Structure 1
Amino acid sequence: MAPSPSAGSSPGAAGSTAGRARMTIGQVLDQLRPDYPGITIPKIRFLEDKGLIKPERTPSGYRKFAGDDIDRLRYILRMQRDHYLPLKVIGQHLDAIDRGLEPPPIDSVVPTVPKVSLTSDGLPSPESFARRSDVRLSRRELLKIAEVSDELLTQLEQFGLVSARTGTGHYDTDALVIAETARELAEFGFEPRHLRAFKTAADREVGLVEQVVAPLKRGRDAAAKGRADDVTSEIAALSVRLHATLVKQGLERI
């Protein structure tokens, strides 16, 4: 096997970070975040609960990660990000590797979805709101890539959180992000009915933006629509920043 899982190989004893040193879960995050910004402590714990990683435990119950554990995490995250493999399939790959076998070849059968443009603090930028996705996913592709069940997607549609494009029956990048997020929130006990509150809050914010932008759209010059679109994107980004910061501030008081 090749020495570095980040270069496309399988995790194993010869991994680039292999060694006897043990790291805390916080140190593991620092190692992984440059390549996988979305990694979180709950995500790592979830992968452990699924049996995909097995870090050592101290007598006090703290997790300690070896180099092989980090290589294994990189492999899992890369298979999810680059090949959209569900965890069940990744588990089969890891089982084969653990038994000294080569994992099955990976055939790309789904499209690559563009990443949303983010600012340095992780929040959406005005450009991300201005961008219009050309991605069109079938229902089957959406279920596969987002790793959600048909039942969960149906519930998300029933509560108005996800919908196919009118006239095409295809889903876009926004639907994919919402479905993936709903799946991750479900790990903490959130059901689609709980997420309806987020949709209601978002609709209110959209209403406020519309009030400001409506007069600009009524301009008679050729550049009116362009100015309105620019203002919409800027206000949207500021709105999300304010919303996220207020939530952060509120959580600090808990």
Structure 2
Amino acid sequence: MSIGEVLTHLRVEFPDTTISKLRFLEAEGLVEPERTPAGYRKYSWEDVARLRFVLTAQRDQYLPLRVIREQLAALDEGPEPAGRQRPALVAVGPTGEVPHRGHIDSAPVDVRLSRSDLVERGGVDESTLTELERLGLIVSRSPGWYDADALVIAQTAAGLGAYGLEPRHLRAFRTAADREVGLFAQLIAPLARQNDPAARARAAETARELVGLAQRLHAALLRAGLGDALGQ
């Protein structure tokens, strides 16, 4: 398959995948498609399975590329059953667990919603959305339009609202996120400022990994705290 055909195949499950992403994963040595005499990439089904393994590990476990590379190397060293044409690679976490998805919404990264669409899909009323915007929790990317992050925030606020939490109670989340943004920006800014496309791709990948690690840490801290409250 050509890189375009692979992209079409993978976007069914990973809608935010791009050509640049596939080239970046190749540059990182996670997949090695063959090349035609003219230099065009040609992917096998095994290459596609490896890419799905990588994308699943990133999406569901937020694993850094170093860990994913080690897992792929371990699989490469193991025996391969005869006659298998599509390896059934399954991404696992650091302790060997098989991940399961638990996303609130599967909206694509390039979603573009009007205010009325956000109210309807986010499950919030107009006054709640106005308050979320006033507190800086939701920001329109262009006049009157909202992205996938705004949708997730609205849905989460609606879910917390069912337990009696109001937008004003969520201000602490905004404050904590701003602190993390400032901290992580110091790490990725040197790469993002470079004109080299590979450096910018590495900056985007680093940002994604940092966000995933921060989410895991936040969830673990909440579980630990609530465990004390429950007497566990």
| TM-score, structure 2 normalization | 0.52
Q: What is aligned with 2:110?
A: 134
Q: How far is the alpha carbon of 1:218 from its aligned partner?
A: 3.7
Q: What is aligned with 2:170?
A: 195
1:159 corresponds to 2:112: no
Q: How far is the alpha carbon of 1:215 from its aligned partner?
A: 2.1
Residues in 1 aligned to 2:102 and 2:183: alpha-carbon distance in whole angstroms = 20
Which residues of 2 match residues 168-179 of structure 1 at below 5 A?
168-179=143-154
Question: Which amino acid is the alignment partner of residue 231 of structure 1?
Answer: T
| Structure 2 residue corresponding to 1:144, chosen from 120, 125, 147 | 120
Q: Is the 8 A contact 2:108 2:148 kept in 1?
A: no
Residues in 2 aligned to 1:147 and 1:220: alpha-carbon distance in whole angstroms = 41
Decide whether aligned partners of structure 1 residues 189 and 144 sit closer, same or farther in structure 2, where only a CA change above 3 A counts. same
RMSD: 2.3
Decide whether aligned partners of structure 1 residues 222 and 138 sit closer, same or farther in structure 2, where only a CA change above 3 A counts. closer
Question: Which amino acid is the alignment partner of residue 176 of structure 1?
Answer: L
| Structure 2 residue corresponding to 1:180, chosen from 155, 166, 173 | 155
Residues in 2 aligned to 1:226 and 1:215: alpha-carbon distance in whole angstroms = 12
Q: Is the 8 A contact 2:191 2:202 kept in 1?
A: yes
Aligned residue for 1:164, secondary structure, equals: coil
| TM-score, structure 1 normalization | 0.47
Residues in 1 aligned to 2:222 and 2:190: alpha-carbon distance in whole angstroms = 31
Structure 1 residues 105-157: Cα deviation after superposition (integer angstroms, max 9, x where no partner): xxxxxxxxxxxx54425577xxx9xx972111111111112221111111111
Residues in 2 aligned to 1:122 and 1:249: alpha-carbon distance in whole angstroms = 22
Decide whether aligned partners of structure 1 residues 187 and 132 sit closer, same or farther in structure 2, where only a CA change above 3 A counts. closer
Q: What is aligned with 1:14?
A: none
Which residues of 2 match residues 1-150 of structure 1 at below 5 A?
117-119=59-61, 120=99, 122=101, 133-150=109-126
Percent pairwise identity = 49
Structure 1 residues 21-64: Cα deviation after superposition (integer angstroms, max 9, x where no partner): xxxxxxxxxxxxxxxxxxxxxxxxxxxxxxxxxxxxxxxxxxxx
Q: What is aligned with 1:108?
A: none
Question: Which amino acid is the alignment partner of residue 224 of structure 1?
Answer: A
Decide whether aligned partners of structure 1 residues 203 and 123 sit closer, same or farther in structure 2, where only a CA change above 3 A counts. farther
Question: Which amino acid is the alignment partner of residue 236 of structure 1?
Answer: V
Residues in 2 aligned to 1:215 and 1:146: alpha-carbon distance in whole angstroms = 36
Q: How far is the alpha carbon of 1:216 from its aligned partner?
A: 2.1
Worse-matched range after superposition: 131-140 or 174-183: 131-140
Task: List structure 1 segments (4+ residues) > 3 angstroms apart after TM superposition.
Answer: 121-124, 218-222
Residues in 2 aligned to 1:132 and 1:209: alpha-carbon distance in whole angstroms = 24
Q: Is the 8 A contact 1:133 1:173 kept in 2?
A: yes
Q: Is the 8 A contact 1:182 1:192 kept in 2?
A: yes
Question: Which amino acid is the alignment partner of residue 180 of structure 1?
Answer: Q
Q: Is the 8 A contact 1:213 1:232 kept in 2?
A: yes
